[in-house]
Amino acid sequence: MSAWQGMTAADLGRGIGKGEIDPVDLAQLFLDAVERHEYGTRIYARLTPERAMAEATAARERARLKLRRSPLDGVPISWKDLFDTAGVPTESGSQLLKGRTPDADAEVLQAATHQGLVCLGKTHMSELAFSGLGLNPKTATPPNIHNPENAPGGSSSGAATSVAFGLAPAAIGSDTGGSVRVPAAWNDLVGLKTTSGVLSIKGAVPLAAKFDTVGPLCKTVEDAALLFAMMKGEAPIDMAPTSLKGKRFAVLTTTALDDLRDDPRAGFDAAVARFRSAGAEIVDLAIPEVETGIALAPIIYGPEAYGTWKDVIEANPDLMFAEILARFRSGKDFSAADYVAAWHTLDRCRAIYLEATADFDAVLCPTSPITPPSVERLLTDSAYYVTENLLTLRNTRIGNMMGLCALTLPTGTPCCGVTLMADPGAERRLLRLGLAAEAALA
């Protein structure tokens, strides 16, 4: 593997700025790496070589003229295949959308391109983004970095593995119930779940629009911070070294620590111990309303997802993986009155959660209570698929249901992440905190 493939996006950007890295050579290296890689077609749904080379050529000229638009101008990244790309199919991992070719880029892709990022291509994902496992027998299931026979995490499965296998310096995914954080954790990456509405989802194929969010999957917090600022059109976040000394963390004991398997528990406990050693105050915190809110997820997610896709799905249900089809159809089980009442209850739970956590810098939990399950067993044991998928997303869904932003970091235990959750709209503060947490974990 080339040295460039092991570098962070920020370091590649610095190399371009110093004239040590040619953006055209860099883009070509990654395109060639994908073409040669044994798992290239399991990770990428399609490459965009003509676009990549045109964008890289423009970045080269800006670098020559000292007119770079951002710290990542000229750095190539991958995009989950639910972000519209003009003139290039965007199929959201579903045969229902085969051949769907938009006329314009998604707004976040437009923003990233304006800042000089280079689009390598589109990555595979769970079907219509409705699974945390990353299993997709209808298109492709990317391999997990630690064991290709295990699930990669989803739904941003190809996004995570494109970075983990050195086939992109960073990736952009989406997160509705954990779809950035789970694959990031299971492939030892940093993943940022943004607050709903902070980054535009216009031009992104929806799952449940009230919860759909855009987020980066990267090697470092610095990369996540740079990508977040670029997609939002803001100045870069202050990356000066910082510390956990004097910070207050709550360990969420409601729901999030239940039924933890051995490795996730060990990874989480070790991370908390490192945070404490770095000077953070750690307090256990029970919030019963979290359990109430999580129990509402089927009533809130299912009807919105099914209502969004009902006509398309029922026109050709045989084109779908049976487990995903069943998840969508579960939305038929609830009335409009159930849905409205659930939202009233969830709004109350969110208010109580924010009041209970107001004195803390972040709330901590294991990113996922389990490690990646076997793909073969998921395909042959329906009951196992259902239980593993629900467990996979249980902790990440807390952040979505409570309306928070969240950052997962690798703990050093393979496939196990620690999540820091912060108030809605607090991404910049969370990323600064994440820098200090990353340093403590190192």
Per-residue pLDDT, averaged over 151-160, amounts to: 98
Question: Residue 368: what pLDDT?
Answer: 98
3-232 folds as Amidase signature (AS) enzymes (3.90.1300)
What pLDDT is attached to residue 23? 98
Q: Which two three-digit tokens encode residue 202?
A: 């216009």
Q: What is the CA radius of gyration of the chain?
A: 20
Runs of H (alpha helix) within 261-381: 262-277, 288-295, 297-315, 322-329, 336-356, 375-380
Q: Hey, is 344 helix, strand or coil?
A: helix
Nearest Cα neighbor of 225 from 211, 242, 207 is 242
Alpha-carbon separation of residue 407 from 12, 60, 133, 157, 241 (angstroms): 23, 33, 19, 17, 18
Q: How confident is the model at residue 282 (pLDDT cuts 50, 70, 90)?
A: very high
Q: What is the mean pLDDT of residues 55-68?
A: 98
Residue 162, both tokens: 């494109």
**Do residues 123 and 163 make contact, with C-beta atoms less than 8 angstroms apart?**
no
Q: Are strands 248-252 and 362-366 parallel, antiparallel or unpaired?
A: parallel
Q: What is the pLDDT of residues 377-387, one digit of tens each?
A: 999 999 999 99
Mean pLDDT of 364-375: 98
Q: How far is CA 75 from CA 165, 173, 349, 431, in A?
A: 17, 17, 41, 21
| CA 238 from centroid of its chain's CA atoms | 22
Distance between the two ends of the chain, CA-based, in angstroms? 24
> Treating both helix axes as pointing N-terminal to C-terminal, what angle do 427-441 and 262-277 enclose, rounded to 10 degrees?
100
Contact of 178 with 392, CB cutoff 8 Å: yes
**CB of 175 within 8 A of CB of 408?**
no
Tell whether the model's pLDDT for residue 12 goes beyond 90: yes
Question: What span, in angstroms and rounded, lies between the C-alpha atoms of 415 and 188?
Answer: 6
What pairing do the DSSP bridges indicate for beta strands 417-422 and 248-252? unpaired
Over residues 173-192, mean pLDDT? 98
Summarised one tens digit per residue, pLDDT across range 285-315 is 999 999 999 999 999 999 999 999 999 999 9
**What is the length of the chain?**
442
Distance CA(193)–CA(441), nearest Å, equals 20
Portion of the chain with pLDDT greater than 90, in percent? 99
In the predicted model, what is the mean pLDDT of the chain?
98
> Would the pTM of this model clear 0.95, i.e. be above it?
yes
CATH 3.90.1300.10 in the chain is located at 3-232, 248-297+320-441
Q: What single-letter amino acid sits at 388?
A: E
* Residue 78, pLDDT score: 99
Active site residues: 80, 155, 179
**Separation CA 275–CA 270 (nearest Å):** 9
Question: Residue 1 — pLDDT band, cuts 50, 70, 90?
Answer: confident
Per-residue model confidence as pLDDT tens digits over 386-415:
999 999 999 999 999 999 999 999 999 999
What CATH number should be reported for the domain whose range is 248-297+320-441?
3.90.1300.10
What's the average model confidence in pLDDT over 173-183? 98
